[in-house]
């Protein structure tokens, strides 16, 4: 299916083909990166053409994002065979959780879950969308030649989309930019996929081919850039995710001392040190106990819920579940504190969750816990939007939460953010546009 732009729009603009799996009505931060780029690229003399699946199996859906698709762009859609559809028929709940990234701890996995992870890891390399590669290459090669397109962009994960770019680059005279929203072989969940040595080697081979064939590589963090720099001599640029302006407003902040996490809390993204610290504050401080509420907005692992309850916080937690983008922003703005959690691992230092940038403009302090020297730590510190802790800083963490609570009691809990403009979607799109024009 294709929506054609007006002739006026097409005149004088360089066409670029963007190959993506996630596109509205898909929900989550992954879809917003290129939705926003597409929104602003025409302002910099570029005409984006989006290619995405016709019948995708999205684990998270947000219909409100459909309204943000510019009317003037061309959208190409092509059928995809989704193995998750079959897996969902066999085990709907487990399949949906795994496809959304919520992988149970190994010791708690059922036989069905273990089998699904093994099959996913070793029979679908690099991922479950691999069977979309060949049909897409055939469809797009004809379209690219017919419309004389000279620039293509692939964005992953799923990293199988980079294989589409790899093959198109081999058969056509095009410039190819490969956008990595996450790393490939060093991403944390690879350890959970029960990969054989042969499968690991295949991933590394495909990663090598992509990194050394793309004309330009785009990454979202300096850690990923440094990692890829050891694997290729091709040019690498960092273009982070960002925030977009909006007109959403709220009347006032919550009356309770709400600490809110927006987004997925996976099994390993479970800050026991935080639950223990909050539990201590509740026992020691009656005022804190009466005012505190933990809000979890998004997909939450059963392991995380179990850990929270184990620390006596059942009466203080509200598990809200997934909400659309507009409601998520309202939660950010009405909360007293925003919680940012990353797994305590070397592999996650490169991960900068997309929600971070909306957190920055929410006028709500950020309480962050993650590995030492992560990219997100530098962003929070440089913008003066919150405090970042490592997992071994329990004493400091407890003191900071208490300090925030005292400011809340005195009606003086606020943020004085600085240096946010470089993270605006429009500024980031200008950086991308310049990269495309000079590639």
Largest pairwise CA distance in the chain: 71
Do 7-82+127-242+426-438 and 257-409 share a fold? Answer: yes
- Give the model's pLDDT for residue 99: 46
pLDDT tens-digit map of 11-33: 568 999 999 999 999 988 889 99
List the single range of 3-7, 158-162, 254-258, 294-298 with lowest mean pLDDT.
3-7
In 3D, which of 270, 278, 254 has the Cα closest to residue 362? 254
| C-beta neighbour count of 310 within 10 angstroms | 13
pLDDT tens-digit map of 368-389: 999 999 999 999 999 999 999 9
- Give the model's pLDDT for residue 332: 96
- Give the model's pLDDT for residue 188: 73
What is the rounded average pLDDT of the residues 286-295?
A: 98
| C-beta neighbour count of 327 within 10 angstroms | 16
CA distance 334 to 329: 9
**Residue 401 pLDDT > 80, yes or no?**
yes
What residues have CB less than 8 Å from 121, skipping those under 6 apart? Answer: 190, 193, 194, 195, 199
What residues have CB less than 8 Å from 382, skipping those under 6 apart? Answer: 418, 419
The residue among 373 and 92 whose pLDDT is bigger is 373
HSE-CB at 296 with a 13 A cutoff on CA atoms is: 20
pLDDT band at 39 (very low <50, low <70, confident <90, very high): very high
CA distance 334 to 336: 7
**Residue 325 pLDDT > 70, yes or no?**
yes
User: Selecting from 3.40.50.2000, 3.30.70.1150, 3.40.1190.20, 3.40.50.1100, what CATH number does the domain 257-409 have?
Assistant: 3.40.50.2000
Helix (H) or strand (E) holding 304: helix 302-310
Question: What is the residue-averaged pLDDT of the chain?
Answer: 90
- Give the model's pLDDT for residue 207: 98
CATH number of 7-82+127-242+426-438: 3.40.50.2000
The rounded percent of the chain whose pLDDT value lies above 90 is 76
- Give the model's pLDDT for residue 112: 64
Question: Which strands sit side by side in the sheet containing 292-297, from one edge to the other?
Answer: 317-319, 292-297, 257-262, 337-341, 366-369, 386-389
- Tokens at 83, concatenated: 């193995």
- Give the model's pLDDT for residue 12: 63
Strand partners, 353: none
In 3D, which of 153, 123, 189 has the Cα closest to residue 51? 153
Locate the domains of the chain by residue range.
7-82+127-242+426-438, 257-409
pLDDT band at 123 (very low <50, low <70, confident <90, very high): confident
What is the rounded average pLDDT of the residues 342-349?
A: 91
What is the rounded average pLDDT of the residues 165-181?
A: 98
CB-based burial of residue 435 (10 Å sphere; 0-12 exposed, 13-18 middle, 19+ buried)? middle
pLDDT tens-digit map of 207-225: 999 999 999 999 999 999 9
- Give the model's pLDDT for residue 316: 98
What is the rounded average pLDDT of the residues 144-172?
A: 97
The rounded percent of the chain whose pLDDT value lies above 70 is 89
What is the rounded average pLDDT of the residues 309-336?
A: 95
CB-based burial of residue 372 (10 Å sphere; 0-12 exposed, 13-18 middle, 19+ buried)? middle
pLDDT band at 136 (very low <50, low <70, confident <90, very high): very high
């Amino acid at each position: 299916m294709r929506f054609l732009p007006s002739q006026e729009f097409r005149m004088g603009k360089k066409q670029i083909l963007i190959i993506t799996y996630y596109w509205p009505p898909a929900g989550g931060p992954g879809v917003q990166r290129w939705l926003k780029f597409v929104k602003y690229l025409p302002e910099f003399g570029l005409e984006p053409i989006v290619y995405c699946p016709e019948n995708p199996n999205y684990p998270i859906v947000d219909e409100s994002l459909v309204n943000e698709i510019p009317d003037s762009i061309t959208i190409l859609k092509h059928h995809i065979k989704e193995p998750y559809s079959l897996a969902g028929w066999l085990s709907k709940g487990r399949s949906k959780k795994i496809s959304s990234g919520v992988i149970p701890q190994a010791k708690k996995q059922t036989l069905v879950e273990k089998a699904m992870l093994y099959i996913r890891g070793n029979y679908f390399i690099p991922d479950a969308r691999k069977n979309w590669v060949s049909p897409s290459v055939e469809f797009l090669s004809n379209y690219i030649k017919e419309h004389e397109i000279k620039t293509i962009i692939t964005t992953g994960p799923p990293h199988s989309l980079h294989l589409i770019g790899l093959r198109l680059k081999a058969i056509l005279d095009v410039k190819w930019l490969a956008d990595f929203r996450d790393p490939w072989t060093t991403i944390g969940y690879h350890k959970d996929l029960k990969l054989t040595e042969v499968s690991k080697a295949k991933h590394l081979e495909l990663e090598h081919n992509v990194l050394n064939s793309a004309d330009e590589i785009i990454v979202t963090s300096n850690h990923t850039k440094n990692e890829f720099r050891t694997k290729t001599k091709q040019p690498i640029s960092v273009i982070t995710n960002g925030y977009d302006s909006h007109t959403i407003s709220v009347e006032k902040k919550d009356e309770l001392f709400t600490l809110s996490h927006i987004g997925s809390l996976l099994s390993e993204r479970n800050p026991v040190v935080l639950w223990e610290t909050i539990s201590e504050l509740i026992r020691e401080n009656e005022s804190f106990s009466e005012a505190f509420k933990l809000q979890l907005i998004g997909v939450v692992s059963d392991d995380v819920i179990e850990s929270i309850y184990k620390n006596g916080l059942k009466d203080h937690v509200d598990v809200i579940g997934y909400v659309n983008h507009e409601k998520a922003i309202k939660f950010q703005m009405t909360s007293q504190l925003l919680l940012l959690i990353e797994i305590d691992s070397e592999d996650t230092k490169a991960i900068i969750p997309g929600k971070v940038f909306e957190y920055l403009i929410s006028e709500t302090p950020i309480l962050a816990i993650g590995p030492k020297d992560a990219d997100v730590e530098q962003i929070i510190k440089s913008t003066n939007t919150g405090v970042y802790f490592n997992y071994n800083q329990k004493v400091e963490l407890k003191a900071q939460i208490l300090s925030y609570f005292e400011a809340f009691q005195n009606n003086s809990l606020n943020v004085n953010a600085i240096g946010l403009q470089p993270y605006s979607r429009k500024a980031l799109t200008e950086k991308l546009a310049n990269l495309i024009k000079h590639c």
